[in-house]
Structure 1
Amino acid sequence: MSRGRRVLVVGCGWISRLVHLPYLAGLRATGGLRSLYVADTDPERAARAARDFDAEMYTGPLEGAGADLVLAATPPVSHAALTLQALAAGARVIVEKPLALTVEDAAAVLAAARRHEGGVYPLYTMRHRPEAALIRQALAQRIGPAREIRASWLRRDGVPATQGGMEPGVLWDLGSHLVDLALWLPDWCGATGTARAEHQHPAAATIGDLRAGWQCQEPADQVVPAPKWHGVRAEATLDAGHLLRVEASWAAPGIRRDLSRIDIIGERATLTWRTVLGWSPDRRTVPGPALWITDVEGREQVLLHDQPRDPRVEYTAQLDAAFAALISGDAVGPLEAACASTALLHAMRTSLDTAAPAPFDIRN
């Protein structure tokens, strides 16, 4: 694939307007792509995006677009089907997270990508935070093999502003980033085990009070129902003896600041990453240090004090990585990791639905 002679963005919501379309418009201005097209189920939204980013609207079937690259930025429920459709049409695909909402759909995407020379790159943005590279280096050199990971992402008021964003639930929204990091950072992909999950704090407040203020809002005449639950807590026991604990909330009670934290407990030390993930304005004021190690005797060493305040750092880095991987044909590894996290999240979702432990297999 070239750098993308003809690119079609499917889905013109807030993430496309904030990240994807500015990036692609800039790439076109420097000759990195020839033409930029946009499509959306809402014609007015597509028209605004076309006007604002000097793109062309596309209203026909995806198979007729003739796109070299399709960027799928639609609600999560459509990601897998859209990716398969684009691959069948001969396009490469960059797809927003989560890759899919079931293990079966993720497996179908992986199989199709292998048939099409690995032409799918999933956007799991937090892998591209600068801290992630430092963490992987510390795991290899300082921490030793990881035994347990605790990952949390708690917002004080950050419910998605669209129905499509809310429908998969907080587990697939915030939890997909946490689970992906927990498997990818220590390379825990390729295992089996059992997952358990439970809902946390039912949604008592009105949705208007808790919407994510950094997202573009839906039109005033569109009613977005409140979710039933704002939080989830989950646990996975891997067959290798590893333990993963995850907690995520769109509106955690009693907190005054959004906070994300990952603790990786290794054989020789514990690594802690304290930050704010995503687009929350609290990211601009989260205190340092961002990353530190605590050895078995309780001594601490700071690895990183300051952290990126602008989320465009990792969002730009991931698109750079996506284009590089699709051009080189080296996108299979990131896709396999996304399939592993999908399988584990599917098991957690099953446990939420059945109130019973659910098995998982994250081998590809």
Structure 2
Amino acid sequence: MTKPRIAVLGCGYWGANHVRTLKGLGVLHAVSDANAARAEGFGVEHDCLAIDPCELFRRDDVDAVVMALPPQFHAENAIRAVEGGKDVLVEKPIALTVADAQRAVDTAARHGRIFMTGHVLRFHPAFERLKELIEAGELGEVKYIHSHRLGLGKFHTENDALWDLAPHDLSMILAITGQAPCEVRGEGAAVLDRLSDFAHLHMLFPSGLRSHLFASRLNPYRERRLTVVGTKAMAVFDDVEQWERKLAFYRHEIWQDSGQWLATTNEPTYIPVEGGMPLTRELQHFLHCIETREAPRTSGEEGVSVLRILTGGTVMHS
């Protein structure tokens, strides 16, 4: 089967990663950017076409488009792409409003096109292994999930810390729970400017499971940690750790004696995790969906679900 011909729209920081990865996979056909000189530079560097954005969606030699734009431009360009017969992978967040995101996803469905959301950590080998453990019942019933995504920098003009950082963890939490939260409460704090630099989200799910998320772009150290608490065990996916320590498994015992809760603590077991770059695995999955017409693991509807949380909670700003 002939390999799909992929174009990347948006050659900024993350778009450049897509360009390099798709080139390595042998499917990069074109690049496109509002800055023509930037696109030309990438075209020369990677030996591919540089196409004006206005022409991109009319091209018969482009089968699919990967979009890494400022999020306010994602929905309209995704709609133009699928109406032009292209499959799309749209980086997170896929829009700024649920209505725009849903319209883009619905348009793709009407035209029979693949719409995949760029939730790259769903393809991290450590998270995939964690999800396998949960589904196999190794943690028992999951009761609580908390995530911390902290660091310094990446100050966007339109995205605050919540919108820039939280989608990664929200996509993983939704994958674990398999349901949307019935209650979302949040709090953000703008320290440097008008956009929040810190954000907390508290979620309650219909099953009774609770989850807490903390995101910050004003933190002196990096933290990329997802903790899952079950009735039989706990597990921690720590992406800052080395590969052999990225997934820690804690077997615990908690019981009640004379009205008091007691617990035994155990040293973690580190679960072996196959190496592999999440972005490469994500794009390989996109190619698989293009070729087989299977629904993506991170569908457009998942992107809409994340937006519902980002926009639908009661979020206080200070």
1: CA distance between counterparts of 2:105 and 2:210?
A: 26
Query: What residue in structure 1 maps to residue 20 of structure 2?
Result: 22
1:156-171 to 2 correspondences below 5 Å: 157-160=152-155, 165-171=156-162
Is the Cα contact below 8 Å between 2:29 and 2:49 reproduced in 1? Answer: yes
Is the Cα contact below 8 Å between 1:264 and 1:271 reproduced in 2? Answer: yes
2: CA distance between counterparts of 1:332 and 1:117?
A: 13
Identical pairs, percent: 23
Query: What residue in structure 2 maps to residue 195 of structure 1?
Result: 184
AA aligned opposite 1:3? K
AA aligned opposite 1:8? A
How far residue 24 of structure 1 moved from its aligned partner, in angstroms, is 2.5
Query: What residue in structure 2 maps to residue 214 of structure 1?
Result: none
| Count of residue pairs the alignment pairs up | 304
1: CA distance between counterparts of 2:181 and 2:196?
A: 28
Query: What residue in structure 1 maps to residue 143 of structure 2?
Result: 147
How far residue 118 of structure 1 moved from its aligned partner, in angstroms, is 4.7
2: CA distance between counterparts of 1:289 and 1:338?
A: 26
Query: What residue in structure 1 maps to residue 133 of structure 2?
Result: 138
How far residue 132 of structure 1 moved from its aligned partner, in angstroms, is 1.1
2: CA distance between counterparts of 1:117 and 1:332?
A: 13
SS of alignment partner, residue 38 of structure 1: strand
Is the Cα contact below 8 Å between 1:77 and 1:168 reproduced in 2? Answer: no
1:342 corresponds to which of 275, 289, 307? 307
Work out whether 1:177 is the aligned partner of 2:168: yes
1:118–1:334 Cα change, 3 Å: farther
TM-score using structure 1 length: 0.76
Q: Which has the higher contact order (CA 8 A, sep 6+)?
A: 1
Query: What residue in structure 1 maps to residue 258 of structure 2?
Result: none
The alignment yields a C-alpha RMSD, in angstroms, of 2.6
1:306–1:23 Cα change, 3 Å: closer
Query: What residue in structure 1 maps to residue 34 of structure 2?
Result: 41
Deviation track 1:143-185 (CA, whole Å, cap 9, x = no partner) reads 1231211011111x2324xxxx44121111111101111111x
Query: What residue in structure 2 maps to residue 265 of structure 1?
Result: 229
Structure 2: give runs of 5+ residues left out of the alignment. Answer: 254-263
Is the Cα contact below 8 Å between 2:32 and 2:56 reproduced in 1? Answer: no
1:76–1:2 Cα change, 3 Å: farther
Query: What residue in structure 2 maps to residue 232 of structure 1?
Result: 199
1:2–1:171 Cα change, 3 Å: farther
Query: What residue in structure 2 maps to residue 54 of structure 1?
Result: 47
Q: Which moves more between the two structures, 132-141 or 104-113?
A: 104-113
Is the Cα contact below 8 Å between 1:58 and 1:65 reproduced in 2? Answer: no
2: CA distance between counterparts of 1:117 and 1:303?
A: 43
2:107 corresponds to which of 112, 122, 125? 112
Structure 1: give runs of 5+ residues left out of the alignment. Answer: 204-225, 277-282, 356-364
Query: What residue in structure 1 maps to residue 10 of structure 2?
Result: 11
SS of alignment partner, residue 330 of structure 1: coil
Moved over 6 A (4+): none
SS of alignment partner, residue 174 of structure 1: helix
Query: What residue in structure 2 maps to residue 129 of structure 1?
Result: 124
1:84–1:145 Cα change, 3 Å: farther
Is the Cα contact below 8 Å between 2:181 and 2:203 reproduced in 1? Answer: no
Q: Which moves more between the two structures, 129-138 or 235-244?
A: 235-244
How far residue 261 of structure 1 moved from its aligned partner, in angstroms, is 1.4
